[in-house]
Structure 1
């Protein structure tokens, strides 16, 4: 019964957001509706992790199919620029964390981990491994940051950075003419990618595994990967949106006074920095500004991938930039964070 309630809320949200022509209605609508229902009934909603992972496999396949050998060569040439964009974006997040610490009573370590543009789950896991961290504060800061980014970036990309139209070419409604055997083979490849990615503990393995497996298989075999029918993509977005909405506990946000204005200002700062980096990437690489902005935006791979699919951006470039930042935050930033905290404690904590 709990799952049915979540599904009904998610569908209603998707329909309402579609009627008002909101960006990413089948992702943002379920996020809002499921989170609000959870707030009204004063307890979290319920959604199945395996259903979300299945949706991520489908979205990962859709993101992996445009990769070619030429795009991989172009990505390799842009690697220094990807690292620079990552460092600039993370630095803006660190600066926001310092401002948050100065303006609130939350300790410095918690502010640092709460404001850096990494994934919600990754930052919470990292916070749990460090001393003197307020896990609730980190969770709330990352949740507010995620909400601001998820709602702002799709709107900017769809209505300002492009001509406002979402062409049918972005949602290729193919498959009726596709070879069903080929479609089945690619489906198995995507699922295998998710399984292997999980075994290897890749970040967002249910999505990243299928992206890498689909891209690698398509490049190695030269087979064209069939497009995903639009209704299936909408259903996948709904499943992801319902899971995100279920994960948000709005009632906890009001428990920290003074956090909201500083965090919103910090998000705006990071967005401005990202737009600046996006402009530089667009000028230096010749990519569209929408593609460059999604590549440098402080969002998650899932949300930016859905937006890129919607506006017909260069999926390969966007994925490469976002993946570079994600890996940097997961593999390198923990050491940077611990170093910054150690320097701060040595200098300011008596």
Structure 2
């Protein structure tokens, strides 16, 4: 594919994404500049006559912008709050992952797909890590893992906003942190150049050391360090955050490729069904979190929702939830999945293979 063809395909995809964002804004869909481009590109890519293309560099730029916005929320007070909640973060993360492992067992039985493949495809919040992990483990169907992970993320991105904007969450109010952020909207200043440089450097350092979601996590860490050191960063105008959502949404629309899947109808139904059950279970866990801590329902639910840290952070910003708390929980689960889950899965799969070899032949 030559450069000229890529330019034409990108312009077509850009038009679709803009159209989706405008339409979703007009009909008042939640987070329109994330869901609109994603939906339009997803639908457009299903037509063989439409060739879509969205450079990953654009998605990465959007993640850097979002990472900067999240990093600003990590004040000293917010970090202390998160530190106090680390035990409950660990407990609820383990419970959620164990529940997803149980769902994977039933999906495996109903679909006829081997359990290791369904299990890796069902781990919440670790799309990139689980797809990479599936490439390293012998016998796992990468296509099914990718489809399950992407389907879950897309379904959650659509479902969670409608739950958040529903009647149960209408009683939420802006957190103290977000009120401060809304009031203290500093204009763009030369300081932003320093923060921008730090965000980009940290993103590429994260990529170099192969950290999870480096273009989100790197800027968050870099911005948080500068913020905690006493250097205030300027808050971004709303159109910049809409732009970051647009950059991410256009890329997400390209991920789902049903044509590469066998028995797609059955697996699609099971994927959406299991994702729906995961969301309901996380909603139940969020009630537990509200019981022990004085946080709003939206903050609690988004903290435990089995989606990606970037998508939940976008939603948290839109509904004025406690951005630091939501991101803290999501990133903790992301790091837990990155460092603890793959070794555990390797051990489980190794034990399973050994048990199969030890079974006597009848």
Pick one of 148, 154, 163 that aligns with 2:155: 148
**Greater displacement, 243-252 / 286-295:** 243-252
**Contact residue 125 and residue 309 of structure 2 kept, 8 A:** no
Alpha-carbon distance between aligned partners in 2 of 1:147 and 1:34, rounded to the nearest angstrom: 13
- Tell me what 2:5 maps to: none
- Decide whether aligned partners of structure 1 residues 4 and 173 sit closer, same or farther in structure 2, where only a CA change above 3 A counts: farther
Which residue does the alignment assign to 2:267? 259
Q: How far apart, in 1, do the equivalents of 2:271 and 2:257 lie?
A: 17
Deviations 1:200-258 (A, max 9, x none): 322111111111111110111x2332111111111111110001112222433574342
1:157 paired with 2:160, answer no
| Residue 37 of structure 1 pairs with residue 44 of structure 2 | yes
For residue 245 of structure 1, the aligned residue among 250, 253, 257 is: 253
What CA distance in whole angstroms lies between the structure 2 residues aligned with 1:268 and 1:306?
A: 20
Measure how far apart 1:320 and its partner are.
1.2
Provide closer, same or farther for how the CA distance between residues 69 and 92 of structure 1 changes in structure 2, counting only shifts above 3 A: same
- What are the residue-to-residue correspondences of 1:159-308 with 2, within 5 Å? 159-163=166-170, 172=182, 178=187, 180-220=189-229, 222-252=230-260, 255-308=263-316
Q: What RMSD in Å do the two structures reach over aligned CA positions? A: 2.4
Q: Which of 49, 57, 64 is residue 56 of structure 2 equivalent to? A: 49
The more displaced of 161-170 and 318-327 is: 161-170
In 2, the alpha carbon distance for the partners of 1:73 and 1:56 equals 25
Shift of 1:179: 5.9
Matched, 1:75 2:82: yes
Distance of 1:254 and 1:150 partners within structure 2? 25
Ranges in structure 2 where 5+ consecutive residues have no aligned partner: 1-7
Q: Deviations over 1:71-109 (max 9, x none)?
A: 111111111100111101111111111011111121121
Partners of 1:173 and 1:187 in 2: how far apart? Answer: 22
**2:76 counterpart of 1:66:** no
Normalising by structure 2, we get a TM-score of 0.89
Deviation (angstroms), 1:341:
2.7
Give TM-score scaled by structure 1 length.
Answer: 0.92
How far does the alpha carbon of each residue in 1:6-51 deviate from its partner, in whole angstroms, 9 at most, with x for none? Answer: 1100000111111111111100111110011110126762111111
